[in-house]
Each structure stands twice: as C-alpha cells, then as structure tokens.
Structure 1
Amino acid sequence: MGIQLENFVESIKSKVRKLKKLKKPYIKMDKSSSVKVEIRSKKARKLVEKTLQAADRPGKRSL
C-alpha cells in the first residue's frame, strides 16, 4: 500500500510540473483611449477636490 501511495504522489507531482510549464505567458494590453480619459478625469476630480478644500481654509496652505 505504501508503494502505491508513493507512485500516486509522484504522478501528481509530475502532472503539476507539466501544468506549470504549459502556462502561457502574460500579455500586457495597452489601455484603451476611454480608459485613459477616465483616469485623467479621476485625477482632475481629485485635484479640484483638493483645491476646493484648500480654498475653504484660507489660513492654511497645505495642498
């Protein structure tokens, strides 16, 4: 029984190794123009929010 278990474990290990080797490489995709616009608009909103918060506190100059 012990030898059968060893053989079973070895066969599973070899299958896992094969699966790791067959893994396809990651292909990085470029951002679409709509995603780029969305990122810019989020950055712009954050900047406007910071500016408005600074304007609400005229005595402090932390931006």
Structure 2
Amino acid sequence: MVMMGLGRLVVSFKSKLKSLKAKKLYDKIEKSESMRIEIKSRKARKLIEQTLKIADSPKSRTYAF
C-alpha cells in the first residue's frame, strides 16, 4: 500500500520535472549585425592586449643582430 502511493508520487514528480524542463524561460534573440561587429571588435581588442602583454614581457626579448 505504501509502495503504491510512493510510486505514484515519484511518477507525478517526474512528470512535473519534465514539464518544467520543456518550458522556455526566455526567448532567444537573434544577433544583429552591429552586435556581431561589437563581439568581433571585443575579441580583437582582447587578442591585441594579450599579444602586447607577451611582447612586452622581459622573457620574450629577442634581439636581431
């Protein structure tokens, strides 16, 4: 008797979890062209910053004779 009630409870809990997963909490927006350009420029700035940091470090000094 107790096991049947527990079984039903588990089944109803599982179905509630599945319904929660199926719902979208937000609508995904499409990226505009300006957003894409901004993302690319941020990535480029970050890459330039990393490159300059490596180039300016004292361990990476190379001398051409």
**TM-score, length basis structure 2:** 0.53
Give CA-to-partner distance per residue, 1:1-31, whole Å, 9 cap, x none. Answer: 2211111111101111222222358726534
Where does structure 1 lack aligned partners over 5 or more consecutive residues? none
Matched, 1:23 2:45: no
Q: How many residues align?
A: 57
* AA partner of residue 41 (structure 2): V
Match of 2:8 in 1: 7
Aligned equivalent of 1:49 = 53
Q: Would you identify which runs of 4 or more consecutive aligned residues in structure 1 move more than 4 Å?
A: none
Per-residue deviation, residues 13-63 of structure 1 (Å, max 9, x unmatched): 111122222235872653463x54333222112222333344x2327xxxx
CA RMSD after TM alignment:
3.0
Partners in 1 of 2:55 and 2:29 — Cα distance? 35
Gapped runs of 5+ residues in structure 2? none
Q: Percent identity?
A: 19
